[in-house]
């Protein structure tokens, strides 16, 4: 074969390969488009549903308007106000605006009074964030009535919730009708992979941040493509000039367009950022429903099978209605870290740890390499040349099984352990924190229950607990 013929043959082969690649890309694009349409049908509320939701909101706002007081007006905020909410999201945020000159004490008192009166006749209770507010159930919907100050600019706010009306107005003004479905897809994606929510427990992406990401990138797919290339420390903005005003340094920085000094993404942890980026990569490789709905994990009916030859400890606490769940979950996360550190310090290797909660309970799960230690421990002391610390070491370690002796340049002894079981270390830490810790978890720890194998299996009679424990034991990302 001549060189010319070989060259022509190679070109023909390359052309065919390119055609096959183009065809595959086109098929994948068609499949993705059909998948997203299918997901949208599932997650978008119907016009009838929206009408019913807005009717409930209008009824509550009408009640608030009829109450005599110093409030200026009530307005709907949150995703329902922006028409970016998902089907089945049955929670409404109604904000009651007060004059910014109203003293804080009176502001809180009047805010609660209005909330209680507006929800009179319905089940309602107090919740606590930066300040107390009223939450209730109206016709099956969860309604929050939150007092806030009416300020002229977001940068002049007097409480953190004062910025919510600014967020609502900004998105309503700037989002295009066709982008609302893109926001819904992004929110469903974030929920499906488990990184949605900016509360202390979730440490993920807020609904407002999801909306801003669509304003930034235009569509869900373009956002996913961009995010698949993100790295920690990324700084992005709707207006590049905002980056100069926002001095924040965190895993992800996105200045709030209503107050550029504030980072909307400050809650996003490295873990949740990494989860989102990795899920975006995987979605582009192989699009699937499981990214939006979470993979259907088979929960074994016999939890004892999952626990066999594994060492798991659970610390169980009970919520009280007047406690701020967000605060408790944040404290529980810190408790989880403290327990892990205490166990690692005492030679227990922690494989995994997690917190989970139901309506009434919050749990801290830990899996260990082993749950008990040998009866003897080797204790390595200071170098023999450190006279002061050697004396202190020998004074402290008098009752030894073996030693003291010198190994290399250090004093070494072998002695009996005072505690052998992981449960003992966890119990002692909880006992200490129930006396020295911070409320509200301090009081909750006094009634803490520590469970191991038999106790875990017995508690699994409660379906919600069994589900959370099984998810922890399976330990697989929802989208993999």
User: In the chain, count of helices (H) and strands (E)?
Assistant: 18, 16
Q: Which two tokens stand for residue 66?
A: 């009829």
Write down the CATH number for the domain with range 376-416.
Answer: 3.30.70
Provide the b/e sequence for 10-31 (b: ≥16 CB within 10 Å): eeeeeeeeeeeeeeeeeeeeee
Per-residue pLDDT, 251: 97
Contacts 24+ apart (CB under 8 A), 78-81: 78/164, 78/168, 78/207, 79/187, 79/207, 80/53, 80/54, 81/168, 81/172
Per-residue pLDDT, 432: 92
The structural architecture, per CATH, of the domain 303-372+420-474 is 2-Layer Sandwich (3.30)
Do 355 and 333 contact (CB within 8 A), yes or no?
Answer: yes
Q: Which two tokens stand for residue 388?
A: 């002061």
> How many other β-carbons are positioned within 10 Å of the β-carbon of residue 444?
21
Helix (H, G, I), strand (E, B) or coil at 367: strand
Q: How far is CA 324 from CA 1, 130, 131, in A?
A: 81, 10, 10
Which one is the CATH code of 175-294: 1.10.1410.30, 3.40.1280.10, 3.50.50.60, 1.10.3720.10? Answer: 1.10.1410.30
Sign, CA dihedral 77-82-88-89, equals: negative
Per-residue pLDDT, 34: 94
Q: Dump the DSSP string for 442-480.
A: HHHHTT-EEE-HHHHHHHTTSHHHHHHHHHHHH---TT-
432 forms bridges with which residues in the sheet? none
> 207-217 vs 220-227: helix axis angle to the nearest 10?
90
Same CATH fold, 376-416 and 303-372+420-474?
yes
Alpha-carbon distance of 423 to 45, in angstroms, equals 48
Q: What is the mean pLDDT of each run of 10 residues along the chain (480 residues)?
A: 64 60 69 94 94 95 94 93 91 93 93 95 86 91 94 83 92 96 97 91 93 97 97 95 92 95 95 97 94 71 81 90 73 92 95 89 94 94 96 94 95 95 94 87 89 91 88 88
Per-residue pLDDT, 21: 62
For the chain, the domains span 44-171, 175-294, 303-372+420-474, 376-416
Alpha-carbon distance of 85 to 185, in angstroms, equals 10
Alpha-carbon distance of 37 to 40, in angstroms, equals 5
Residues 6+ apart with CB under 8 A from 307: 453, 456, 457, 473
Q: How far is CA 185 from CA 86, 122, 330, in A?
A: 9, 33, 28
Q: CATH classification of 44-171 is 3.40.710.10, yes or no?
A: no
Per-residue pLDDT, 127: 83
């Amino acid at each position: 074969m001549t060189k010319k013929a070989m060259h022509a043959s190679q070109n023909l082969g390359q052309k065919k390969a390119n055609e096959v690649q183009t065809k595959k890309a086109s098929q994948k694009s068609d499949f993705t488009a059909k998948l997203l349409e299918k997901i949208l049908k599932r997650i978008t509320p119907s016009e009838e549903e929206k009408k019913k939701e807005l009717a409930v909101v209008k009824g509550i706002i009408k009640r608030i308007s009829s109450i005599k007081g110093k409030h200026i007006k009530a307005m709907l905020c949150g995703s329902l106000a922006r028409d970016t909410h998902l089907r089945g999201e049955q929670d409404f945020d109604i904000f009651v605006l007060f004059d910014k000159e109203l003293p804080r004490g009176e502001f809180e008192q009047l805010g609660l009074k209005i909330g209680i009166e507006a929800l009179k006749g319905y089940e309602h209770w107090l919740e606590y964030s930066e300040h107390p507010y009223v939450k209730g159930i109206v016709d099956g919907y969860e309604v929050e009535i939150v007092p806030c100050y009416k300020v002229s600019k977001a940068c002049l706010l007097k409480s953190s919730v004062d910025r919510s009306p600014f967020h609502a107005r900004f998105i309503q003004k700037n989002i295009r009708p066709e982008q609302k479905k893109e926001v819904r897809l992004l929110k469903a994606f974030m929920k499906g992979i488990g990184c949605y929510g900016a509360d202390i427990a979730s440490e993920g992406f807020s609904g407002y941040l999801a909306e801003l990401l669509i304003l930034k990138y235009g569509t869900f797919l373009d956002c996913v493509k961009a995010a698949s290339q993100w790295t920690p420390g990324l700084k992005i903005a709707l207006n590049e000039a905002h980056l100069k005003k926002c001095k924040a340094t965190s895993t992800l920085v996105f200045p709030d367009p209503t107050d550029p000094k504030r980072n909307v993404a400050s809650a996003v942890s490295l873990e949740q950022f990494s989860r989102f980026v990795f899920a975006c990569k995987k979605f582009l490789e192989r699009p699937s429903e499981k990214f939006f709905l979470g993979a259907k994990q088979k929960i074994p009916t016999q939890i004892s099978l999952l626990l066999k030859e594994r060492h798991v400890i659970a610390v169980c606490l009970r919520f009280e209605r007047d406690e701020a769940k967000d605060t408790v979950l944040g404290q529980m996360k810190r408790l989880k870290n403290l327990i892990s550190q205490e166990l690692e310090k005492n030679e227990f290797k922690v494989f995994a740890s997690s917190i989970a909660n139901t309506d009434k309970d919050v749990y801290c799960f830990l899996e260990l390499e082993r749950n008990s230690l040998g009866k003897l421990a080797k204790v390595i002391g200071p170098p023999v040349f450190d006279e002061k610390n050697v004396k202190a070491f020998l004074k402290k370690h008098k009752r030894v099984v073996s030693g003291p002796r010198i190994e290399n340049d250090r004093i070494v002894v072998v002695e009996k352990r005072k505690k052998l079981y992981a449960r003992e270390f966890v119990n002692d830490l909880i006992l200490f924190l129930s006396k020295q810790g911070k409320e509200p978890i301090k009081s909750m720890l006094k009634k803490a229950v520590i469970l191991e194998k038999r106790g875990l299996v017995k508690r699994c009679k409660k379906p919600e607990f069994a589900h959370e424990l099984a998810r922890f034991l399976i330990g697989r990302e929802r989208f993999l």
